[in-house]
Amino acid sequence: MGDFLHNVGLWIAYYWEQLRVWLLDATDPVHKFALMLVVMVVFALVMGGILYFVGGSRRMPRWAVLAGFVGPALLALGFGLVYPAVRTMWSSLYDRTSTNYVGFDNYVQAFTQNEFQLVLRNTLIWVVLVPLLSTGIGLMYAVLVDRTRFERVAKTLVFLPMAISMVGASIIWKFVYDYRAYALNPDGSEQNPQIGLLNQMIVWLRRALDGLGIHTGLEPQQILLNAPSNTLFLIIVMVWIQTGFAMTVLSASIKAIPADIVEAARLDGLHGVKMFRYITIPSIRPAMVVVITTIAMATLKVFDVVRTMTGGNFRTSVVANEFYTQSFRQGNTGLGAALAVILFVMVIPIVFYNVRQMRLSEEIR
Amino acid sequence: MTEQIPLEKSDQLVVTEGTTLNNVAATRIAKLSRSSVARARLASPWGSLLAIVIAIIWTVPTFGLLLTSFRPEADINSTGWWNVLSHPSFTLSNYNEALFGSTTNLANYFVNSVVITLPAVVIPISLALLAAYAFAWIEFRGKGILFVAVFALQIVPIQVTLIPLLTSYVNLKLAGSFWTIWLSHSMFALPLAIFLLHNFMKDIPPSLIEAARIDGAGHVQIFFRILLPLLTPAIASFAIFQFLWVWNDLLVALTFAGGTPNVAPLTVRIAELSGTLGARWYLLSAGAFISMVIPVIVFLGLQRYFVRGLLAGSVKG
């Protein structure tokens, strides 16, 4: 009897281990897809089970119904957001291995050491420039293509970068910025023709000016290596990504300006730029605030672009990237946590402004 | 009070999920009137020229890389893509090598991307549907505060959560498996998903629910017979956002699967190749488009449906 139970125990342990391995280590595509399907089906069954079990019976006490409906989500939020956030704030007060309490040393380091001051300065530049440029260009474009024949296509073209990953966008622009050393053959042709468009444009400009007798000596640049301008060239990528969002929202709110207001203004003799200045802008101001703050929040957390294009090297790092580098590359948990908390704190005022503006615009309406 | 925040407001406050979600706001505003006119156009040749210049800047970089991805390696390295007319030769071998070559092996990562994305879309939506239903249609003490708390969690940047989460996964022996990414994306999506779905649910006329209750329907019947059909457009639009967000994500995947080729998605691999392959543009260009093709198809294909869904969902009862 004892042997039998022992064997059953072994048997269960064996199959449990098999199942565990199957669930965790999927290596070939068939296994992966099978795992994906199993997970989705099991999850659906569990959720359906909860729904039927607690929601299906009218005699079920209310607390049980609530626990079944809200419980899983609250557990997930507690495990995935609340607990880790508190834990990170805690470990930002500890040293790099989370063993010794160091008070605010990590924050002091982040705000006083040169390399991190540079990171903060870069982040500030990003957060100012990206929202302003994206919103400005997006608004201009929305106004320019509004009610033209090509509106739909024109908008899709600018909006498409929103659909692709920031990694993809970074590769696209990295190619634009590609650099080849500039050297001429004896016959005057280039030894290494540029394959990056931007540097080719520099070469074209040089040739054109040479043709006019102006010898500038312009040469292709290592665009991503030359600080501090490289940060601006990274910012261009983010602007390129975000403009579509600004354009779409602002275009929609331009179309929502009541026709009678526009008509009245026109009767008063407003046209073109003046109409834009005195009617369009004030009417869409709430939408603009929302767009600017939303892009600012996304920009604060920008990571993919910097990571993919320069890896944060050549003085281009920003807080979100430095967080990653310190936490996962340098193994400095304390400083990484402090940078994450700094990011958190920086987001909060923007969120409040965003919410307040929306409240205000609601009241006006 | 707070659980009745109007739709327009809710959609604009999108904090953690990246900005794609804000198209919700855009289309919402658009619903007001397509016909009402604000002709503030700076109608001049200069204006048109400016629009064309912007359109070119937003298109040419992508077009250049796309063209490059179909050129033979030797051509890519010897001439810029604008010379394609003097060297008109095209090939698919870049794609072949990027997908199946041993240096890149992107087919494997493509599978990973798919395997990561589908559950990471389905799981948060189901969890959020249940929670949103309770917040919208079941009265209980502390509901207001709890809902505000969930809403407020949107402002937590995911960076703040990553290290402790990684530790938790290691303790649970999940590290290096798909579960870490599924769970992470699901949890991060919840605040916004609950918030949006709750608002859509609140828009369904209470009389409809009341009538069903009087007829003896329980939560399950109400949920499946009445709410789910009405919510389909809202669910579909959130699903598309979440799909794009997960497929395009780099940070979460890099953190939890950075060193695991069996799990890492395309974005992680491409970002890595961008550093290591440097000048091998024949592989990078093809790789970039392999990672982009699915989101672009989803986006272009479902754009209209998605807008219609939003319009349907936002019509107040």
DSSP string, chain B: -GGG--HHHHHH---SS-GGGGHHHHHHHHHS-SSS-------SHHHHHHHHHHHHHHHHHHHHHHHHHTS-HHHHHHS-GGGTTTS----SHHHHHHHHSTTT-HHHHHHHHHHHHHHHHHHHHHHHHHHHHHHHH---TTHHHHHHHHHHGGGS-THHHHHHHHHHHHHTT-TTSHHHHHHHHHHHHHHHHHHHHHHHHHTS-HHHHHHHHHTT--HHHIIIIIIHHHHHHHHHHHHHHHHHHHHH--HHHHHHHTT-TTT--HHHHHHHHHHHTTT-HHHHHHHHHHHHHHHHHHHHHHHHHHHHHHHHHHS--
Amino acid A37: pLDDT:
96
The least confident of A123-137, B18-32, B58-72 is: B18-32
**Which range, of A134-138, A357-361, B216-220, averages the lowest pLDDT?**
A357-361
Q: Are B55 and A154 in contact (CB under 8 A)?
A: yes
Instruction: Report percent pLDDT > 70 for chain B.
Output: 82
Is residue B96 less than 8 Å (CB to CB) from chain A?
no
Q: Please write the tens of the pLDDT for every residue from B79-129.
A: 999 999 888 899 999 999 999 998 889 999 999 999 999 999 999 999 999
Identify whether residues A211 and A248 lie together within a single domain: no
Residue A321 placed within a domain: yes
Whole-number pLDDT of residue B304: 67
Q: Do B274 and A85 touch (CB under 8 A)?
A: no
B74 in reach of chain A (CB within 8 A): no
**Given a cut of 70, is residue B308 above it in pLDDT?**
no
Higher pLDDT, A275 or A299: A299
Confidence of residue A327 (pLDDT cuts 50, 70, 90): very high
**Residues of B in Cβ contact (< 8 Å) with A310:** none
Residue A101: left if φ>0, alpha if ψ -120 to 50, beta else—which one? beta
CB B157 within 8 A of CB B251: no
Residue A100 lies in a domain: no
Interface probe for B, chosen from A52, A175, A327 (most Cβ of B below 10 Å), is: A175
Provide the pLDDT confidence category of residue A364 given band limits of 50, 70 and 90.
low
A217: left (phi over 0), alpha (psi -120 to 50) or beta: left
pLDDT at A363: 63
pLDDT at position B246 is 96
Confidence band of B60 (pLDDT split at 50, 70, 90): very high
Residue B119 contacts A, CB cutoff 8 Å: yes
Do A153 and A270 fall into the same domain?
Answer: yes
Q: How confident is the model at residue B149 (pLDDT cuts 50, 70, 90)?
A: very high
Confidence band of B7 (pLDDT split at 50, 70, 90)? very low
Choose the final residue of a domain: A57, A91, A125.
Answer: A91
Is the CB of B299 inside 8 Å of chain A's CB atoms? yes
pLDDT of residue A1: 65
Contact state of B247 with A55 under an 8 Å Cβ cutoff: no
User: pTM of the predicted model, to two decimals?
Assistant: 0.88
Nearest in space to A144 (alpha carbons), one of A153, A135, A134, A154: A154
Within this chain, do residues A315 and A247 fall inside the same structural domain, yes or no? yes
- The answer on A131 and A80 residing in a single domain is no
Q: Confidence band (pLDDT; 50, 70, 90) for A241?
A: very high
Q: Domain end: A193, A222, A251, which one?
A: A222
Q: How far is A47 from chain B (nearest CA, A)?
A: 7
Whether residues A281 and A299 fall in one domain = yes
Pair (A9, A137) in one structural domain: no
In a domain, A196, yes or no: yes
Q: What is the domain count for chain A?
A: 3
User: What pLDDT score was predicted for residue B5?
Assistant: 37
Model confidence band, residue B312 (pLDDT cutoffs 50, 70, 90): very low
- Is the pLDDT at A272 greater than 70? The verdict is yes
A305 vs A326: CA distance, rounded Å: 17
Distance from CA of A24 to the nearest CA of B (A): 5
**In chain B, whose CA is at the least distance from the CA of A309?**
B274
> How far is CA A21 from its chain centroid?
35
* pLDDT tens digits along A81-116: 999 999 999 999 999 999 999 999 999 999 999 999
The answer to whether position A98 is within a domain reads no
pLDDT at B6 over 50: no
Confidence of residue B179 (pLDDT cuts 50, 70, 90): very high
User: Mean pLDDT over all residues of chain B?
Assistant: 82
pLDDT at B17: 36
- Is residue A269 domain-shared with residue A330, that is, in the same domain? yes
Cβ of B123 and A62 within 8 Å? Answer: no
pLDDT band for position A361 (50/70/90)?
low
Partner-chain contact A81 B188, CB within 8 Å:
yes
Q: Give strand pairing partners of A190.
A: A184
Residue B60 or residue B317, greater confidence? B60
Do residue B36 and residue A253 have CB atoms under 8 angstroms apart? no
Whether residue B58 and residue A83 make contact (CB cut-off 8 A), yes or no, is no
Q: How far apart are CA B295 and CA B245, in angstroms?
A: 9
What's the domain range around A51?
2-91
B14 touches chain A (CB under 8 A): yes
The complex scores an ipTM of 0.92
Q: What is the pLDDT of residue B39?
A: 41
Bigger pLDDT: B171 or B227?
A: B171
Q: Does residue A152 sit in the same domain as residue A278?
A: yes
A187, β-bridge pairs: none
The pLDDT value recorded for residue B18 is 37
User: Is B295 in contact with A165 (Cβ distance < 8 A)?
Assistant: yes
- Report yes or no: B291 and A178 within 8 Å, Cβ to Cβ: no
Is B39 within 8 Å of A298 when comparing Cβ atoms? no
Pick from A87, A248, A254: CB nearest B164 = A87
B226 touches chain A (CB under 8 A): no
Q: Which domains does chain B possess?
A: 2-36+92-314 (1.10.3720.10), 42-91 (no CATH)
Q: Which amino acid is at B169?
A: Y
Same domain, A142 and A248: yes
Instruction: Please say which residue of A186, A205, A222 terminates a domain.
Output: A222
pLDDT of residue A294: 86
Selecting from A195, A240, A256 the residue whose C-beta is nearest the C-beta of B80 gives: A195
Whether residue A66 lies inside any domain: the answer is yes
Residue range B167-179: mean pLDDT, rounded? 94
Cross-chain CB nearest to A307 (options B29, B42, B271): B271
**Residue written as token pair 């909006």:** A159
Q: Is B76 on the interface with A (CB under 8 A)?
A: yes
Answer yes or no: do A342 and A233 share one domain. yes
Pick B45 or B312 by higher pLDDT.
Answer: B45
Question: Taking a C-beta distance cutoff of 8 angstroms, is the pair A240, A166 a contact?
Answer: no
- Arithmetic mean of pLDDT, B198-221: 86
Pick from B41, B182, B274: CB nearest A143: B41
Q: Is residue A101 part of a domain?
A: no
- Check residue B13 and give its pLDDT: 37
A261 and A135 in a single domain? The answer is yes
The pLDDT, as a whole number, for residue B316 is 23
CB-CB under 8 Å, B30 with A23:
no
Instruction: Indicate the pLDDT class of residue B306, thresholds 50, 70 and 90.
Output: low
Residue A64 domain-assigned? Answer: yes
Task: Give the residue-averaged pLDDT of A187-211.
Answer: 91
CB pair distance less than 8 Å for B163 and A337:
yes
Q: Inter-chain contact A143–B40, Cβ cutoff 8 Å?
A: yes
- Measure A314 CA to nearest chain B CA, in Å: 14
Give the minimum alpha-carbon distance from B3 to chain A in angstroms, rounded to a whole number: 15
Evaluate if residue B27 carries a pLDDT over 90. Answer: no
Q: Is residue A285 part of a domain?
A: yes
Q: Bigger pLDDT: A54 or B157? A: B157
Closest Cα in chain B to A275: B40
Is residue A118 located within the same domain as residue A267? yes
